Structure 1
Amino acid sequence: MTSPLLWSRGEPGSEWGGLEYKPQPDSPALQRLWRGFMTARSFVGLVLVLLQGVSFGISQSVHPTALVLSGAYLVAALAGARYVRFRPPMRGFGSAWIASIGIDLATFTVLQLAQAGSINYTPLFALPVLMGAVLGTVSVGLGTTAAVTLLLLGDAGWQWLSQAVDPSTRFLQAALTGTGLFVVALLAHQLALRLAREEALALRSRSTAQMHAQVNDLVIETLSEGVLVIDAAGRVHAANPAADAILGRGLAGLALPFPLDAHPAWHPLAMVAGKTFSRRAPQSKEMPIAQAQGAPREVRVRTRLTPDNDRRIESLCVMFLQDLRELEARIRTEKLAAMGRMSAAVAHEIRNPLAAITQASALLGEDLVDPAHRQLTAMVQQNAQRLARIVDDVLDVSRARQQRVLPLADMVALDSTVRTLAEEWVRQSKRQGVLLVLDAVGCDVRFEVEHLRRILVNLLDNAARYAGDREGSIQVATEVEPGGRSTLQVWSDGAPLEPGVQRHLFEPFFSSESRSSGLGLFICRELCERHGATIGYERRALSAAGPEGNEFFVTFAGAEARLTQ
């Protein structure tokens, strides 16, 4: 942000004290000064008109020229304030100078020459001198002051010629007045210089403070930790979205500032803040915070006081809130990540025994005659091959290989494939209440059937873990979106997922249950990305009157889906 007022070295011959006034165009400070001078000129014009009226009222002689000139000056001052456009600074004796300072000099000079009685108009010359020194460049300020001095000397000479009296007193008075005006102009210029520097510094400081405030707001807004700013009276002056998510009581909807103990669940936080102020020391504590829905959340609370270097500014308590469950999940993720690297090595070693089992079952099947025995060996081979594919997927994830592009011929009918896989899962899990709503009739998608099986089975297992037992508590649906992309949805009527869990749903080795490896949804995401599809989660109701539930959806690649004719 550039300052609207700048002072710099001037050109040779145009310096005054080694500095030249170079304000930026449309400087707010100079515009305010210009309006102030215009108001002062209008006031002077009004006083001149009233002065002529008062002189006439007390039976003093009033020169007609002075009366007409005072009225004309008032009109000119009002018109100048309304219509003259000032663009700082006055760099010469142009239209802006003539419409303001020039009119003043001419008016006051004529009034001085035509003065009646004991009225002396010399003090009025201070107004154009100040305007030239403050609003103009060095040359304009010096030129205006020199013009006023010459006019005063000329008036003294005119009086000497017209009245034939001793001129020494008038010349001495004109010289002293001119000297005083030069001093006033110099001081006004220096004060304007000081004002410009202070305003430029203030604007730079304000710009820097605004930039820092914006950066601080952005940092606090994106922090995963909750942040509350509390005063000594226990009122909250600022809070970030993470604090709203952790406290779970609609904090974002409250008007700032609000008392921290607005909810009974926040009383322990208010006590910690009060202890921070009373002891003037940071506090740290772990406590359960009751939620509007669900079980209480374990939160680690840490407080800090802002520095009190300036006694005029009250210290504030900055409270940091950290969800212990999310913290423990991150620590557990790091531990499981190390285990994941080890599991990749174990999976690599499993491949050889699986190959041996598959080969042995195939050789054994050749010598068996009993159909029941042959069926058993077929089941062994089928499941051994499935395990081998799972091992391959785990190894693919651990090695972070590039996505494989499947052949264009690997197209599957979405509805029939989903129906077969879902019915197979229902038979194996013996789960009741699963409803199929398949509306992607004739839609083929490019997806490997075994990978689609793994995704659907994983989503159904997760749904069954939290869904109810009523009919339709789990629904599997397909549809074609208006843009032509087909989707697969698995919906269940389970409780809503906590925000901390939602943020890490598809991360490897993250799970809300201690017995889970946390790889299921991560592998689902990897398999979807390999086929150009996307997987996501949302909380929604299937109908306007129906209950809300958790829905996981897979959106297949638009370029890879087609409708069979």
Structure 2
Amino acid sequence: MALDPQSQFSPSWLVTLETEGQPVREQRLRAFARLWRMFMRTRVFIAAVLLALQVFVVVTRSGGPSWLLLVCALHLTATLGVLIWLRPVEQGRRLRMQWQWLATIGVDVVVFALLEYFQHGGISYIPLFALPVLMAAILGPLVLALATAASITLYLLGEAALSAPLLSDVSTSRFLQSGLTGTGFFIVALLAHQLAQRLAREEALAQSSQAAARTQAQVNELIIESLSEGVLVVDMHGVVRNANPAAQSMLMGDRYPRSAKLLLSAREGWEGLAHLVDKSFALGQALESEVRVEIDELTALKLFVRTQLTTAQGGRHAGLCVLFLEDLREVEARVRTEKLASMGRMSAAVAHEIRNPLSAITQANALLDEEVQEPGQKRLTRMIEQNAQRLARIVDDILNVARAQPSQDEALVPSLPLDQTLRQITHEWSKQNQAQGVLGVHPHAPGLMVHFDPEHLRRLLINLLDNALRHASRAPSSIRVISQPTGSDRIRLSVWSHGPALEASVLKHLFEPFFSSESRSSGLGLYLCRELCERYGAQIAYQRSRLDLQEGNEFYVIMPAASGRSPVQQRLAIPPGDSVPSHTRPPQDSKPPPMSTLF
């Protein structure tokens, strides 16, 4: 349906729609079309009543010419045609607009005037003139409404002049009555038009407020859904009305009911949350507390929970409680990160200070070694030298972690035989941790070399083995170390352990520093593994995999094979599609064969 703002049937408030948004414009036009159809149906009803009344007059011969019956019939036909075929306002030229005015308001004025003038008897049709005046005032501009009222007033005055001799008592009374009636029509036109404009402004303001409210609600939804902090909305009966994705994942994961109602008190292990909500409603104030939530038989979360009651107008509580849930492990990890960041800066400064006395100890030991001759004393100087070198390496590691780039020349990193080094490190670790029956070593990369510092490769592998030992089932061969080539110039080193899957909250922060699922762990093991891998052009990742029909956790490292190029050159030569995310599965083109086929 097309509406023309410059048409005779475009109200003045409709012209402002050109500056509004398209959805608001369409909604306003639909409202105008509904109002127009209501007036057209009213015209049809009045035309039908007039036709029935004229039939009664003709049958009873109570007065009036019979041709008025034909006029009423044509009027009813015209109103039905306008209702069915004519649109509220159509785009077109001014001639078309004038024709539209004649087809509606003009027809009504003419028909009502004929009935009023030629109909004999006590029936007065003057009140019917209010319909075209109202239609022009509400659907059209003020000029059209005043013009309609003026034409009706002129007709009434002309009828008064023709109905009685001038300057007679009857003539004076008819003129006075016509003038008052015309004045009433002018007042009706003005008031109706003003009310229509005011309603239009109120409607526009309401629609604008609704649009702003919907936009704000969408913004709030996006913010709440993207929060890492869990948000629960609970009513006075303990029924969860809404929960953001973080709260769903934190409390139940994929098992969170999407449509059914969730009752806090009915969930086993959620009694702490239900008690905190009841206490908040009872006291009528916000509370905060540490709450332990049992996720399942094996998993429990310690949450820091804050409650906030919603308020209605007048300051009364509206019966909803908003719970903000935060995993205490993440809070403690952030605190540790801030503290240890400052400690790291201090450690770098201390490391610089240690170098000077360490150099003096090394030099003094070298001089002492030249003076002593006894084997026992030589053994002591060698012990001093070895420990001084170890302290120097520790200082270098601390400084390298503090720096953005490693201090050593990566082109001078030695090439190591991976399988031979792997057997040596795992043998020492197995003896030290008494894990001869638990650990299985499967080297499948004979003759392949890697660019890696021996001490750093040892530290990387021992960290992964210690982590696997903490989470393994301790059954025979529950820990496997596997090396195998993947692609033309890559080697895959994996440490697999049979055990339960990692929690989603732990998996999200797997390689971040100072985050651990155990209270006695510093949370630096996997972080240092990632830092060492990135230093030598390797990449570390985690996945849940199956080995010999058993599910387990696998940490694997994709490292470049030594080919006479430095790790920097090899890193630049890695194809973009072969990059491995730091906490997800490897891409399809670099994924090794199924682990069950390796043995």
TM-score normalised by the shorter chain: which range applies? 0.7 to 0.9
Kindly indicate whether the alpha-carbon contact (under 8 Å) linking 1:237 and 1:256 is maintained by their aligned counterparts in 2.
no
TM-superposition CA deviations, 1:168-221 (whole Å, max 9, x none):
555545433332232222222322332233233333433443344334334433
- 2:44 counterpart letter in structure 1: G
State which of 389, 401, 404 in structure 1 corresponds to 2:404.
401
Greater mean alpha carbon deviation, residues 181-190 or residues 384-393:
384-393
SS at match of 1:45: helix
C-alpha separation in 1, matches of 2:400 and 2:393: 10
- Using structure 2 for the length normalisation, give the TM-score: 0.72
State which of 328, 336, 342 in structure 1 corresponds to 2:340.
336
C-alpha separation in 1, matches of 2:307 and 2:574: 55
Distance 1:147-1:421 versus aligned 2 partners, 3 A rule = same
C-alpha separation in 1, matches of 2:222 and 2:205: 26
Which residue of structure 2 aligns with residue 107 of structure 1? Answer: 107
Q: CA deviation at 1:78?
A: 1.6
Which residue of structure 2 aligns with residue 142 of structure 1? Answer: 143
C-alpha separation in 2, matches of 1:473 and 1:155: 107
Which residue of structure 2 aligns with residue 506 of structure 1? Answer: 511
Distance 1:123-1:376 versus aligned 2 partners, 3 A rule = farther
- 1:64 counterpart letter in structure 2: L
* 2:443 is equivalent to residue 456 of structure 1: no
Q: CA deviation at 1:125?
A: 4.1
Task: Give me the identity figure in percent.
Answer: 40
- Structure 1 runs not aligned, ≥5 long: 1-15
* Alignment map for 1:373-522 (pairs within 5 Å): 388-398=392-402, 400-402=403-405, 417=418, 419-430=419-430, 431-432=435-436, 433-435=438-440, 451-469=456-474, 470-471=476-477, 473-478=479-484, 480=486, 488-522=493-527
TM-superposition CA deviations, 1:335-383 (whole Å, max 9, x none):
433433343344334545666777758996999999xx99999999778
Distance 1:175-1:411 versus aligned 2 partners, 3 A rule = farther
Which residue of structure 2 aligns with residue 32 of structure 1? Answer: 31
- 2:30 counterpart letter in structure 1: Q
Q: CA deviation at 1:395?
A: 0.8
C-alpha separation in 1, matches of 2:548 and 2:102: 78
C-alpha separation in 1, matches of 2:463 and 2:312: 56
Distance 1:369-1:45 versus aligned 2 partners, 3 A rule = same
* Alignment map for 1:29-178 (pairs within 5 Å): 29-56=28-55, 59=59, 61=66, 62-81=68-87, 84=88, 95=96, 98-99=99-100, 101-115=101-115, 117=119, 121-136=125-140, 140-154=141-155, 156-157=157-158, 160=161, 171-178=175-182
- Using structure 1 for the length normalisation, give the TM-score: 0.76
* 2:307 is equivalent to residue 303 of structure 1: yes
Kindly indicate whether the alpha-carbon contact (under 8 Å) linking 1:455 and 1:524 is maintained by their aligned counterparts in 2.
yes
Q: CA deviation at 1:334?
A: 3.5
- Structure 2 runs not aligned, ≥5 long: 1-10, 19-24, 61-65, 561-569, 579-599
Q: CA deviation at 1:389?
A: 3.7
Which residue of structure 1 aligns with residue 584 of structure 2? Answer: none
- 1:426 counterpart letter in structure 2: T
C-alpha separation in 2, matches of 1:153 and 1:134: 22
* Alignment map for 1:213-362 (pairs within 5 Å): 213-248=217-252, 252-255=256-259, 257-310=261-314, 314-351=318-355
Distance 1:429-1:405 versus aligned 2 partners, 3 A rule = closer
* 2:530 is equivalent to residue 525 of structure 1: yes
Kindly indicate whether the alpha-carbon contact (under 8 Å) linking 2:444 and 2:483 is maintained by their aligned counterparts in 1.
yes
Q: CA deviation at 1:460?
A: 2.5
* 2:561 is equivalent to residue 547 of structure 1: no
Which residue of structure 2 aligns with residue 9 of structure 1? Answer: none
Distance 1:511-1:275 versus aligned 2 partners, 3 A rule = closer
- 1:461 counterpart letter in structure 2: D
SS at match of 1:314: strand
Greater mean alpha carbon deviation, residues 431-440 or residues 190-199:
431-440
Which residue of structure 2 aligns with residue 23 of structure 1? Answer: 16
- 1:425 counterpart letter in structure 2: I
Distance 1:170-1:269 versus aligned 2 partners, 3 A rule = same
Cα RMSD after superposing both structures: 4.5
- How many residue pairs match? The answer is 530
Q: CA deviation at 1:425?
A: 2.0
C-alpha separation in 2, matches of 1:324 and 1:248: 17
Q: CA deviation at 1:32?
A: 0.9
Greater mean alpha carbon deviation, residues 292-301 or residues 543-552:
543-552
Kindly indicate whether the alpha-carbon contact (under 8 Å) linking 2:248 and 2:256 is maintained by their aligned counterparts in 1.
yes
Kindly indicate whether the alpha-carbon contact (under 8 Å) linking 1:494 and 1:550 is maintained by their aligned counterparts in 2.
no
SS at match of 1:253: coil
SS at match of 2:311: coil
C-alpha separation in 2, matches of 1:170 and 1:343: 109
- 1:107 counterpart letter in structure 2: V
Distance 1:207-1:477 versus aligned 2 partners, 3 A rule = farther
- 1:507 counterpart letter in structure 2: E
SS at match of 1:461: helix
C-alpha separation in 2, matches of 1:422 and 1:408: 23
TM-superposition CA deviations, 1:360-413 (whole Å, max 9, x none):
58996999999xx99999999778656544432221222x33467966686968
Kindly indicate whether the alpha-carbon contact (under 8 Å) linking 1:358 and 1:384 is maintained by their aligned counterparts in 2.
yes
Distance 1:216-1:354 versus aligned 2 partners, 3 A rule = same
SS at match of 2:17: coil
State which of 178, 184, 187 in structure 1 corresponds to 2:188.
184
SS at match of 1:275: helix
